[in-house]
Structure 1
């Protein structure tokens, strides 16, 4: 779980750095498109991780409630 959280944090950090460079106009057109695509895929990956963690937490809570009852 720690590895997943570290990866998600790194992806968000790298995405923010790349977006900052893209907004300042330091990249050419091809690099701009590549960074935009990479940022989108990173964002989708992080959202997927968040959904996976939420489902795992709900399953754990459900299992805890079933065991207590």
Structure 2
């Protein structure tokens, strides 16, 4: 983990063979009682493509919990 602001932001940093990458998750209030999750990746194109699926998976899981 590289940085965290509780309830607001989580930044994860890693290294895999050659690339160094970061995943940034941000929580924002969307409406009263609703939270929006924003995610971005800072990596090579291939890594970005693979991690691009994370936000959709998190959304599906969160919607099942409701």
- TM range, smaller chain: 0.3 to 0.5
Task: Select the structure of larger CA radius of gyration.
Answer: 1
Question: Which TM-score applies when normalising by structure 1?
Answer: 0.36
Higher relative contact order (CA 8 A, sep 6+): 1
**Higher relative strand content:** 2
**Higher relative helix content:** 1
